A and B are shown apart, each in its own frame.
Chain A
Amino acid sequence: MSEKVLTLRGVVKEFEGQTILDGIDLEVEKGEVVVIIGPSGCGKSTLLRCINALEPIQGGEILLQGSPVKAGDKNLPVLRQKIGMVFQSYDLFPHMTIMDNITLAPRKVHKRDKAEVEREAAELLSRVGLADKAKSFPRQLSGGQKQRVAIVRMLIMHPEILLFDEVTAALDPEMVREVLDVMLELAKQGRTMIIVTHEMAFARAVAHRMIFIDEGRIVEEGKPDEFFESPKTERARNFLNMFRFQPASRS
């Protein structure tokens, strides 16, 4: 039997009386890569933010390996250590070197030894091709490099599940690839991941399961090949069509 890492049951999120997530049910197994797509404003970011309780939910429950993740709970920091998240905007700490950005949390949160953490950080950095950037500051890095550091900063906490929220959306096109490659590598290593992205080719390549959200609900889910070849719902079809370039027909 496969192990469930994350379980969402009937998750409801409201902002100012407006329902943004309208009963989301989702189970993610260990080693599974789930890719979430959907139109802008459908609640993808909100869903990821709810999973690590950056947003409180108004209904349903979220379980990480059986433990409820709830905003305001005492053991929330402990649970969040097991949930890695990378955001769309480069969110490195600008006042610290790359090395300090990466080692701060393991040192302060896990109380790990500085030298030992720095060794692991150096190794992770070299794996994403940034071995020479340890002493640099975030401002000296390109967007793609910053996102790779953000991924390393998350990995060094050894999270059980990785959340990616459109991490390439703010990047120049030539930098998208280097970040996607890192994510593909993580998927190959068997990490449990939830990825929100607009990169359809990447989604198809990396996903074990596709989830299409519209207006705060899961409208369709399935294996990537089926989903992209023959989406069952009209809404998913329409959405996918926006990513296909068809010459405008002239009369």
Chain B
Amino acid sequence: MDVSVLTEYLPLYKEAALLTVKLGLLGILFATVLGLVCAAVLYFKIPVLKAIVKIYIELSRNTPLLIQLFFIYYGLPKIGIRTSPEVCGVAGLAFLGGSYMAEAFRSGLEAIPLIQEESALSLGMTRFQTIRYIILPQAVSVSVPALVANVIFLLKETSVFSAVSLMDLMFTAKDLIGLYYDTTEALFLLVVFYLIILLPVGILGTILEKRARYAGFGA
């Protein structure tokens, strides 16, 4: 492996990594909001919306991100909705992640026994207070492991962003290999940068999970 090649490539990777992280986090943020809204619609069994959410979840979970991105990037302009690659990447990630986040929140909400809600109500709390102080905090702490897994999954999925000509890590590596044939160095840096992004998330996730477990139930 040639160190001088590595140092030469480094700035390019840094920039690409920043883009990956930026778009990844934005996508995850929107996915989380979308997931919460969908989970709420399912939890409160809101008519009509419930059916729409169910269709969305099936669509989102059963199609690859690459296809979703193609649809947004090449398909939507045909009906007059034109997006930049960045918006497309974020939107695609949010569309994919929303269903996974929704499932994580839903399983958390369903894990809370009915008696918790009933005890709160019988103390005279309103339905809103019950959800705010009793149901949600417990549901979120149950959901934490699934949420963390989703964040890591979605960050990994950003590797298909290059398909809509976003200059993310994958794009940079492929590009450099195509130009200079320094395959080893290019791939090495790709792995290193993904690790730099994902390892801290994994560690933070483990800490969070432990906290959540203590805040919630169990030992």
Contacts and interface: CB of A to CB of B under 8 A. Distances in A.
Contacts of A80: 121-124
Contact of A154 (B116, B121, B123): B123
Interface in B86-135: 115-116, 118-126, 129, 133-134
A250 interface: no
B215 A81 contact: no
Contact of A93 (B121, B134, B218, B219): B134
A109 B125 contact: yes
B124 A78 contact: yes
Given A87-B118, A87-B119, A104-B133, A94 B216 contact: yes
Contact of B118 (A54, A150, A153): A54
What DSSP secondary structure best describes chain B's contact surface? helix
Given A80-B124, A108-B125, A109-B125, A91 B119 contact: yes
B131 to A, nearest CB: 12
Interface residues of A, number: 26
A91 B129 contact: no
B134 to A, nearest CB: 6
B118 A77 contact: no
A37 interface: no
B123 A91 contact: no
Nearest to B217: A94
B141 interface: yes
A174 B217 CA distance: 25
Nearest to B123: A105
Given A94-B138, A108-B129, A108-B133, A157 B123 contact: yes
B137 to A, nearest CB: 5
A153 B134 CA distance: 14
B100 to A, nearest CB: 24
Given A54-B118, A108-B133, A95 B141 contact: yes
Contacts of B138: 93-95
Contacts of A52: 122
Contacts of A91: 115-116, 118-119
Contacts of B216: 94-95
B210 to A, nearest CB: 15
Contact of A139 (B115, B141, B217): B217
A109 B217 contact: no
A81 B134 contact: no
Given A87-B118, A87-B119, A108-B129, A95 B137 contact: yes
Nearest to A49: B118
Nearest to B138: A95
Interface in A51-66: 52, 54
Given A54-B118, A91-B115, A105 B125 contact: yes
A85 interface: yes
Contact of B219 (A84, A105, A139): A139
Nearest to B119: A91
Interface in A164-222: none
A87 B125 CA distance: 17
Contact of A109 (B119, B124, B137): B124
A83 interface: yes
Interface in A80-136: 80-85, 87, 89, 91-95, 104-105, 108-109
Interface in A28-61: 52, 54
Contact of A77 (B125, B133, B134, B141): B125
A125 B122 CA distance: 20
A118 B123 CA distance: 17
Interface of B: 115-116, 118-126, 129, 133-134, 137-138, 141, 215-219
8 contacts: A77-B125, A83-B122, A89-B115, A91-B116, A95-B216, A104-B123, A105-B124, A154-B123
- Complex A-B, nearest 10 residue pairs according to Cβ-Cβ distance, in ascending order: A81-B124, A105-B123, A91-B119, A85-B122, A80-B124, A91-B115, A109-B124, A94-B217, A77-B124, A77-B126
